[in-house]
Structure 1
Amino acid sequence: MHVSQLFQPLRIGSLDLENRIVIAPMCQYSADEGRATAWHTMHLGTLALSGAGLLITEAAAVSPEGRITPDDLGLYSDETEAALGAVLAAVRKHSAMPVAVQLAHAGRKASSHAPWDGGHQIGPHEPRGWQTKAPSAVAHAADEHPPVALDAAGIARVLGDFAVAARRAARLGVEGIEIHGAHGYLIHEFLSPLSNHRDDGYGGSLDNRMRFALEVFDAVRAAFPAERPVWMRLSATDWVEGGWDVAGTVALSRALEARGCAAVHVSSGGVSPRQAIALGPNYQVGFATAVKDAVSIPVIAVGLITEAAQAEAIVAEGLADAVSLARAMLYDPRWPWHAAAALGAQVRAPKQYWRSQPREHKDLFKDASFGQR
């Protein structure tokens, strides 16, 4: 009898997941001055009933200037903490799925319009815009206003912002923290030679360019309860010659593991509009495998993983320890149910929905264990 490997348990640090399906962070651009809204209750509530092993919230900015757009979620004040806490409390009444918060700073890609409004930069003198900060005063695109290079005091402030946000996340009772070190945002900007032109201890050599990422990890790890895991999402390559690459990602992953990082979530791209991405199913899985071959902590693969058999093969063949889905989950919030049916596995679902089981899969669902937190 075939036993699905996708639906086997996985431990990330001290956190036990029932299966290896992770819901990736997906920005909603629907917050009110950083505060989560009713939209987030509906959105996260839907995903929390999906039967996945882990739900990671969208990026929560650690400061107002760290938001991608003026409508991004934040975790930088009592008001933003209370708003997200209210959303999570509502979700938890009907789901026992573990929830992690992604903490982020957008760096030079901050102060932008939402994607459906074009995603272009909002200049610092335009309504709702602000001056962006980055490792170097190099704009993301030629037609954008350049960021201000962070000085030593500015770097210290950002590290402090990450630590404070981690303490807020701890008070919200989330089971883990993912640090956003990918997609061209501030941490990635320090890593990549394309965006980091510094000549101090944070620039130049690989070790210097990794320094900020490691300091952010250390700050978050120290501020978050030791029994709960912290991990990082990385872009494995810039898809631009001379940029951040897989060798750097492997080196950073090893350094993170040595510091107590619980997992690595491997994505790619985002730091340069010159990127030439070879899109296709599993197009980033090879990067995850390269990291997995170099570390002993779990590695999560992401990127155009849309089919149950595809996800099963990634895990069964040892290419990654788990898969994360983003757009596929938006399109089909019951993706794990359908994957379990296709792979002969079971998945947690609320009893109110049990009558939706196909007749040929009468043992598909198991109790969602409401109220177990």
Structure 2
Amino acid sequence: MMSSELFQPFRMRGLELANRVVIAPMCQYSATDGIVGDWHLMHVGQFSVGGHGLFIAEATSVEPRGRISLSCPGIWTDEQMAAWKRVVDFTKTWGNTPIAIQLAHAGRKGSSRKPWQGGAQAPEDEGGWQTVAPSAVAFDAERPAPHALTVAEIDQIKQDFAAAARRADQAGFDAVEIHAAHGYLLHQFLSPLSNRRDDAYGGSLENRMRLALEIFDVVREAFPNDKPVGLRISATDWVEGGWDLADSIALAQALEDRSCDFIHVSSGGLSPEQEIPLGPGYQVDMCAAITEATEIATIAVGMINDALQAETIVRSGQADMIALARGMLDDPHWTWRAAKALNAEAAYPRQYERALPHFQTMAAPKDPPPK
């Protein structure tokens, strides 16, 4: 029987992944003033012992206005960094899965209430703030127009990303993923639907890509050279006239020139007019196109819930890694189950090893108990 490709190791710079299973970032809306707490210790902790290739922590803002919600984490202060370090230290002591952080800025989609509170933009008297964006174009009719960033303010956000990358290293994270997807700030600069600027950051594709590339450069410079840095992108807006796959390939090629380590290929999130053809692996073809066009490691994501499906994606060369988010929330032990289905192995913590079949066999009595 052929060995599983999904459970082969993968290396990015100095980081060795035991397999190709990635846990994609999942917002928890459970921080206080940007500070993670016991919920995150439990949430991240349970995944850190699950034998996965990589866990990517949720979107973590580089400045106060960059949070998606009032309850999203940040890393713009040393106190926030120390809180993340507590979580990361736990994963290093007890876990078997390396941990990355997703550095983010929500832009015009920030200042939101929690999803279970409706998700609408919170006003300032509820702790909300004036959102920012490349242009004063609202996300939808329910949200006020954001403030259009000046060049000086853009420069400050670049500095915020660099400072966040340095704090991420201090906290002990093994890698950084820069969030340029799902309609958040960097995606807003990339898409002509949200970027109406007429300066060096707007207009042509080259200009619209400028901020994402500049932020990659400053993060790469600020983060240790032996630790990977990659981007999560939306490969298409799913709206005619918006950001599309050809644009994403151009961005990937520009990132390849900068020695980007991985691209995490998602889609959508920029416009309420999007029409997404949801179905198993619905984004994999776009990931495969980027894999074909570049040498950058790629992560496919989006309704990949079956072990054989994941194995096929990696074995066929459509992606180097696969990622799950909601599927992992539904089944935090997905990687263990996939390994069994594919006759492979994934790491267990010593405390759980007696659940493995060969340990159960060893523990079984060889002779029947006396009567």
Assess same fold via TM > 0.5: yes
Does the residue aligned with 1:100 lie in a helix, a strand or coil?
strand
Counterpart CA distance in 2 for 1:126 and 1:247 is 43
Stretches of structure 1 lacking an aligned partner (at least 5 in a row): 364-373
Per-residue deviation at 1:122? 1.3
User: Deviations along 1:42-94, whole A, 9 cap, x unmatched?
Assistant: 00000111111011101110011100001001100011011111121123221
Tell me the residue number matched to 1:47.
47
- Which of 1 and 2 has greater Rg? 2
Q: Using the aligned pairs only, state the percent identity.
A: 55
User: Deviations along 1:302-344, whole A, 9 cap, x unmatched?
Assistant: 0000010110010011111110010011111010000000000
Per-residue deviation at 1:358? 4.1
1:343 partner letter? L
Counterpart CA distance in 2 for 1:5 and 1:163 is 35
Report if the CA contact (8 A) 1:266-1:299 is conserved: yes
Cα distance change, pair 361–162 in 1 and its aligned pair in 2 (3 A): farther
Report if the CA contact (8 A) 2:89-2:172 is conserved: no
Report if the CA contact (8 A) 2:281-2:304 is conserved: yes
Counterpart CA distance in 1 for 2:137 and 2:187 is 14
Cα distance change, pair 331–362 in 1 and its aligned pair in 2 (3 A): farther
**Residue 82 (str. 1) matches residue 73 (str. 2):** no
- The two structures have a TM-score, normalised by structure 2, of 0.95
User: Deviations along 1:140-166, whole A, 9 cap, x unmatched?
Assistant: 001211100000111001000000000
Counterpart CA distance in 2 for 1:55 and 1:16 is 13
Counterpart CA distance in 2 for 1:337 and 1:96 is 13
Counterpart CA distance in 2 for 1:166 and 1:335 is 30
Report if the CA contact (8 A) 2:103-2:177 is conserved: yes
Per-residue deviation at 1:204? 0.6
2:198 partner letter? D
Report if the CA contact (8 A) 2:96-2:349 is conserved: no
Tell me the residue number matched to 1:345.
344
Tell me the residue number matched to 1:38.
38
Report if the CA contact (8 A) 2:5-2:314 is conserved: yes
1:317 partner letter? S
**Residue 193 (str. 1) matches residue 192 (str. 2):** yes
Report if the CA contact (8 A) 1:65-1:130 is conserved: yes
Per-residue deviation at 1:357? 2.3
Report if the CA contact (8 A) 1:63-1:74 is conserved: yes
**Deviating 4+ runs (over 6 angstroms):** 359-363
Tell me the residue number matched to 1:368.
none
**Residue 114 (str. 1) matches residue 114 (str. 2):** yes
Tell me the residue number matched to 1:11.
11
Per-residue deviation at 1:359? 6.4
Tell me the residue number matched to 2:260.
261
Equivalent positions of 1:318-337 (< 5 A) are: 318-337=317-336
Tell me the residue number matched to 1:149.
148
**Residue 227 (str. 1) matches residue 226 (str. 2):** yes
1:26 partner letter? M
Does the residue aligned with 2:57 lie in a helix, a strand or coil?
strand
Report if the CA contact (8 A) 2:36-2:73 is conserved: yes
Report if the CA contact (8 A) 2:182-2:267 is conserved: yes
Tell me the residue number matched to 2:66.
66
Equivalent positions of 1:161-200 (< 5 A) are: 161-200=160-199
Counterpart CA distance in 1 for 2:174 and 2:145 is 37
User: Deviations along 1:244-267, whole A, 9 cap, x unmatched?
Assistant: 000000000010111121011000
Counterpart CA distance in 2 for 1:126 and 1:362 is 62
Cα distance change, pair 362–73 in 1 and its aligned pair in 2 (3 A): farther
- The two structures have a TM-score, normalised by structure 1, of 0.95
Does the residue aligned with 2:8 lie in a helix, a strand or coil?
coil
Per-residue deviation at 1:362? 7.0
Tell me the residue number matched to 2:305.
306
Counterpart CA distance in 2 for 1:248 and 1:122 is 33
Tell me the residue number matched to 1:26.
26
Report if the CA contact (8 A) 1:341-1:361 is conserved: no
**Residue 138 (str. 1) matches residue 153 (str. 2):** no
Does the residue aligned with 1:177 lie in a helix, a strand or coil?
strand
Stretches of structure 2 lacking an aligned partner (at least 5 in a row): 363-371
Counterpart CA distance in 2 for 1:97 and 1:46 is 10
